[in-house]
Amino acid sequence: MKNLLAITDFSNKEIDELIHIAEDIEKNPAKYQEKAKHKKLATLFFEPSTRTRLSFESAMLSLGGSVLGFSDANSSSSSKGESLSDTIRVVSCYSDIIAMRHPKEGAPLVASNVASVPIINAGDGGHNHPTQTLTDLLTIKKEKGRLDNFTIGFCGDLKFGRTVHSLIQALARYKGIKLVLISPDELKLPDYVKKDVIEKSNMDYVETDSLEKAMPTLDVLYMTRVQQERFFNEDDYLRLRDSYILDMDKLSSAKKDLSILHPLPRVNEISIEVDSDERACYFKQVYNGRLIRMALILKLLNLI
């Protein structure tokens, strides 16, 4: 039985296959509308979510399956003190596959040790978010026509931004990717990503605190929200939250074919004036998220 705990659980070949299925789903939705009939997806969200949970649910419904679960830990027995392992054992009896989000890093791994159905990590603390990465890869593939040989800037909260960690893990396995890591000193990428992923795979990277300087070199710009919920100190958050605000003025030096990504939700980091620029891809990411999650569910349930 296969899980998706980290993006490295899938080879590049398997990722290519998921992208291929997602593209086929987009072209021929009717072909897939009963593929997961009588199957049940449980969405267990111990942390807030809009896109990830609803796109999983919409994905399962689009495959003819059904969904159950909770979107607030306070409405589950974990508020009575039930352990995660017990919750997972129980939900394994009610569902065929589980997508879970949890504030603790490694919680999906713990879940996978006791689950009798596949576990999908829908975000664990400041660690990983592999299904957002699949969404990001599908978007880059559609926009650029390739997943290799481009320069990508990651801007904002690279310390706590789990979507950044997972996407870098994925990109480390493609050729010719250059990383520009744009953040204030306090929000730099953690060592376990820099040393164990970037340096081990000999990726080309630079670190800077200047979005302006980086801008003209970028093919893809991945903006992020400063992750308020991971800060220990409110004052630090308030000081850092508006470190980077992308507006049309900053985009004036950007390439004409830049692709601007953001996993959303956005707070202040992209001005709404950017939304109507054709380089803005963040709502396309939302659209792509449901397609790739449909492909993922089919694959993990061995329905394709």
Contact segment (CB under 6 A) with ligand NCD among 8-16, 169-177, 261-269, 293-301 equals 261-269
Tell the smallest beta-carbon distance from residue 51 to ligand NCD (Å). 5
Tell the smallest beta-carbon distance from residue 52 to ligand NCD (Å). 4
123 binds ligand NCD (CB under 6 A): yes
Query: Using CA atoms, how far apart are residues 175 and 70, in angstroms rounded to an integer?
Result: 40
> Within a 10 A sphere around the Cβ of 69, how many other Cβ atoms?
20
The residues in 165-224 that bind ligand NCD, with binding defined as CB under 6 A, are none
Among 17, 26, 51, 201, binds ligand NCD (CB under 6 A): 51
263 binds ligand NCD (CB under 6 A): yes
- Phi/psi class of residue 81: alpha, beta or left (left: φ > 0; alpha: ψ in -120 to 50)? left
Query: Using CA atoms, how far apart are residues 171 and 141, in angstroms rounded to an integer?
Result: 12
Looking at the Cβ atoms of 64 and 184, the one nearer to ligand NCD is: 184
159 binds ligand NCD (CB under 6 A): no
52 binds ligand NCD (CB under 6 A): yes
Tell the smallest beta-carbon distance from residue 203 to ligand NCD (Å). 22
Looking at the Cβ atoms of 163 and 288, the one nearer to ligand NCD is: 163
108 binds ligand NCD (CB under 6 A): no
Query: Using CA atoms, how far apart are residues 79 and 81, in angstroms rounded to an integer?
Result: 5
Looking at the Cβ atoms of 32 and 164, the one nearer to ligand NCD is: 164
Contact segment (CB under 6 A) with ligand NCD among 169-177, 187-195, 259-267, 295-303 equals 259-267
In the complex, which residues of this chain contact ligand NCD (CB under 6 A)?
Answer: 51-52, 123, 129, 132, 162-163, 225, 263-265
